[in-house]
Structure 1
Amino acid sequence: MTDTDVLTSVREHAVRSWQLFTHSAGLHALVSDWRSGVTPDGSPRLTVEVVGPDAAQALHRFSAEYMLILGQPGDQRPHFDVDVPGRTVLVWRHKGVWVELWHPETITQRPSRPEPGPAAAQGLLTALGGRLPFTRNRSPKETTTA
């Protein structure tokens, strides 16, 4: 297999995996503009930006939920790479080719789980009638005799 054939095979594998995952998960993030290059150590690399309204969520869920089929010597499971500032990059190695799916980090992204603040605590107190629940242990005290 030539280098071009390997790159084509790896790209098709990544595209099929992404499409299968996003379709089954009901997500609308897309990848389309694949670029090839080399890493600093000379290994081949394919990179693509994930775009769409749920790009960040899709990339994180893909890394956590989708089981890529990798079986070649030297393959590496997906992991996040934090070397490029301003980007969230999911990277794995397949057939000697590094594959990168990424999206830009922006300050407009909402956190996945909001932090509870004083207003949330106030709402809890109001819902409980102004006091927190307190339960008593009504079982008889155990005493030891000597």
Structure 2
Amino acid sequence: MKFLSAAFCLTLLPCAVLGQDLVLRDGYVRSTNPRSGAAFMVIENQGQAACTLSAAASEAAQRVELHGNREEGGMMRMVKMDPVAIPAGGRHELVRGGEHLMLMGLNHPLAEGEEVDLVLDFGTCGKVGARLPVRNGR
């Protein structure tokens, strides 16, 4: 996968994309097994139009999906979620125990302190790249 330098931010500093101000804050990746991990962050839409997180990708994993938890039969289960709309002036949190980006089929186990590159696809609002630290201890 090639990253477009205009759309790829190497840290979680504010990123302006195609006229939309999408800001990623407090992001990190956690992995407790060698096959999968999860990314968490706060996404702020400081633009004038709604943006929808429709997909994500990373060279660290075979696929990345938006996941959440849902109660089924009295038990909490992790399920693939639909795209998430973030209204103009709004924010959305991807958090442990809630919605998150699931990294599946990791190419190698993620070690504490390593960094993982992600590209979040917001459809017509463009793509935002981030480099997130791995924090397995939290």
Question: Quick check: TM above 0.5?
Answer: no
TM-score, normalising length from structure 1?
Answer: 0.31
Q: Which has the higher strand share?
A: 2
Who wins on radius of gyration, i.e. which is larger? 1
Q: Which has the higher helix share?
A: 1
Larger RCO (CA under 8 A, 6+ residues apart): 2
